[in-house]
């Protein structure tokens, strides 16, 4: 059974797995776990001995906290 994990279908309390966290953030799993270890990314919830998930609201807050990269002005523009 496929679960719909499009952002518009998730609530802040929805739990998403690592593959979805990676898809939404653009980070690889190793980068996600390193940031969790560093305390700069939300920690997952243990659902079982080998299963973890993240709260969508916490991941979304992290995404929104990232600085935006402004497009560079075109050359020659005053």
For 28-78, what is each residue's pLDDT tens digit? Answer: 999 999 999 999 999 999 999 999 999 999 999 999 999 988 888 766 555
Parent domain of 21 = 11-65
Residue 56 maps to which CATH number? Answer: 1.10.1660.10
Q: What is the pLDDT of residue 77?
A: 56
Q: Is residue 4 part of a domain?
A: no
Q: Is residue 75 part of a domain?
A: no
Q: What is the pLDDT of residue 76?
A: 58
Between 5 and 18, the more confident residue is 18
Helix (H, G, I), strand (E, B) or coil at 20: helix
Q: What is the pLDDT of residue 70?
A: 85
Q: What is the pLDDT of residue 1?
A: 42
Q: What is the pLDDT of residue 30?
A: 98
Number of domains in the chain: 1
Q: Is residue 22 part of a domain?
A: yes
Q: Is residue 77 part of a domain?
A: no
> Measured between alpha carbons, how far is 29 from 40 in angstroms, rounded to an integer?
14
């Amino acid at each position: 059974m496929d679960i719909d994990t499009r952002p518009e279908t998730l609530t802040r309390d929805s739990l998403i797995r690592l593959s979805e966290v990676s898809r939404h953030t653009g980070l690889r799993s190793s980068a996600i776990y390193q940031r969790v270890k560093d305390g700069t990314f939300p920690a997952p919830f243990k659902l079982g001995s080998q299963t973890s998930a993240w709260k969508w609201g916490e991941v979304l807050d992290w995404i929104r906290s990232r600085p935006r990269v402004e497009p560079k002005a075109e050359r020659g523009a005053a």
